[in-house]
Amino acid sequence: DDGNPPRGTITGMINKGWCIPLPPSPEPPRPSSPPPTAFLTKPANFRVISIKVDSGKGAATLSWMAAQPTNCVLQRYSIKYMIGNELQGRETPDANATSHRITGLSCGECYTFQIAAHATGGLTARATSIAVEVPHPPAPPPAPAPEPPVSPVGMADPNTICPKTTKSYALVIGNNYPGENELKSCVNDANAVGAALDQAGFIDVTVAHNLDAVSIKRALRELRDKATEGSVVLVYFSGHGHSEGGDNFVVPTRMGCVATKQDWLDEAIATAYILTMMAQSKAKAKLLIIDACRSRGRHDTLANTSVKSAFDGAKMSWAAVNQSDAGVNMYSIFSSAEATVSYAGGSNDLSVMTRRLVPLITQEPGLELSSLVKCLSAQVLAAHGSSNQGRMLVNSTPQAWMIDFYFMPPSVGRSTRRAGCGVSEGVQDGGGDGADIARKNAAQHSLF
């Protein structure tokens, strides 16, 4: 025995006492674990959130909760929409979308939308909406009934007139009489009234200064000829004035000497002549405003008795006007009463009446002419003089006045005004009584 394992059979080896280790037996194979379960989302977490339908446009926007993939990859969404059980179309939003707009839908039909989420491995989750109606376009609102044309003063009455709706023409004269019996404020008066009439809407305003008799008559004829059918004509004069033998006159510049009634008819401009020129126009409304004296000469036997005179030959045309339709709707406003004086202002001021007239024209919308005259009368009365020392009384004469005239129409939302206006009783310009005002702050318009 050489000490080595015997050669031979295993049995011989065992008989010899030799142990031969056997190779380890292989371990049985372990069972492999199952692959992880892949799923897309829980049904409760994938649903349609809202459907917004665009009324009348045949479109709807579908919104949903995003699908939640687990152990898989979300690839895309698909949307199909049906009317009843009939498929109408398909859309394919991308995997990152959570809303999608569908167009081309039929208005008036009820649609059901179904959205599906598709992931790897063929996994799919679906959500279905309730039926949604795509409405028709709303019917257009009925066209409003046309409103009848209404004038800015809020009335369609043809006898309601204001310069903003009716062609209106004005002649405005201010005479300061430079180098003569000079006044200070009459040119200022004319400029202020002209600007006020422009603001009120007069389409043609002629402002003239220091006119002689020929120029005044020419300007009056031009006004008469330019006035159109149904229009308004207005003449304003500020300067010296006079009353003689029952007639009123405005004084031109460079007037000759006057001693008798006939002299006045030859040299001055009778208000009857002014009114006749206005009446001969085609205008519907005629307004005359005179800011001047109506004082009388000492030789006038009518100064303290009757203020009426018989119609002589020079006045026959005016008499004819007063008996015809041409004299209808004529309104005359004088700053002073018969046989009294009127007061002007300084070189930087306006005359007593005009200073109050201008704001009533421009700053009082909806003030009808008769109410404007009431306000003007009250303000002048309160501003100048006293009963003991001499009042300055506005005098007005509406002749067959059958219209409502407004310099400025009412503001929006404001009604027309016909009542009186507030004045401060006893307030005087510059302080003091009327005599002080006449001495210190004003000059008489009268030549006498």
Any alpha helices (H) in 248-368, and if so which ranges? 261-267, 271-279, 316-321, 352-362
Residue 172's DSSP bridge partners are 207, 236
Nearest in space to 101 (alpha carbons), one of 137, 134, 140, 124: 134
Q: CA geometry: angle at 164 spanning 162 and 165, to 5°?
A: 75
Tokens of 48: 């349609």
Distance of CA 269 to the CA centre of its chain: 43
Q: Quote the pLDDT of residue 259.
A: 81
Q: Quote the pLDDT of residue 222.
A: 96
User: What DSSP line would sit under 388-431, residue for residue?
Assistant: TT-----EEEEES--SEEBSSPPPTT---B-S-----TT--TTS
Q: Where are the beta strands (DSSP E) in 7-141?
A: 48-54, 59-64, 74-83, 86-91, 99-103, 110-119, 124-128, 132-133
Per-residue pLDDT of the chain (448 residues; tens, 9 = 90+): 555 655 555 555 555 555 556 667 677 766 665 666 555 555 555 667 677 877 678 888 888 888 777 778 888 888 899 888 888 899 988 888 888 898 888 888 888 888 888 888 777 788 777 778 878 777 778 877 776 554 454 445 778 899 999 999 999 999 999 999 899 999 999 999 999 999 999 999 999 999 999 999 999 999 999 999 999 999 999 999 998 877 899 999 998 888 888 888 889 999 999 999 999 999 999 999 999 988 766 544 443 333 333 333 333 344 455 555 666 678 999 998 878 888 888 999 999 999 999 999 998 888 999 999 999 999 988 887 666 666 788 888 888 889 999 999 876 545 555 444 655 433 333 333 333 333 333 444 443 3
Tokens of 441: 């702050």
Q: Quote the pLDDT of residue 20.
A: 56
Q: Quote the pLDDT of residue 38.
A: 57
Nearest in space to 104 (alpha carbons), one of 115, 117, 91: 91
Q: Quote the pLDDT of residue 312.
A: 38
SS3 string, 247-283, reads: EEEECCECCCCCCCHHHHHHHCEEHHHHHHHHHCCCC
Q: How far apart are CA 369 and CA 232, in angstroms?
A: 13
pTM passes above 0.85: no
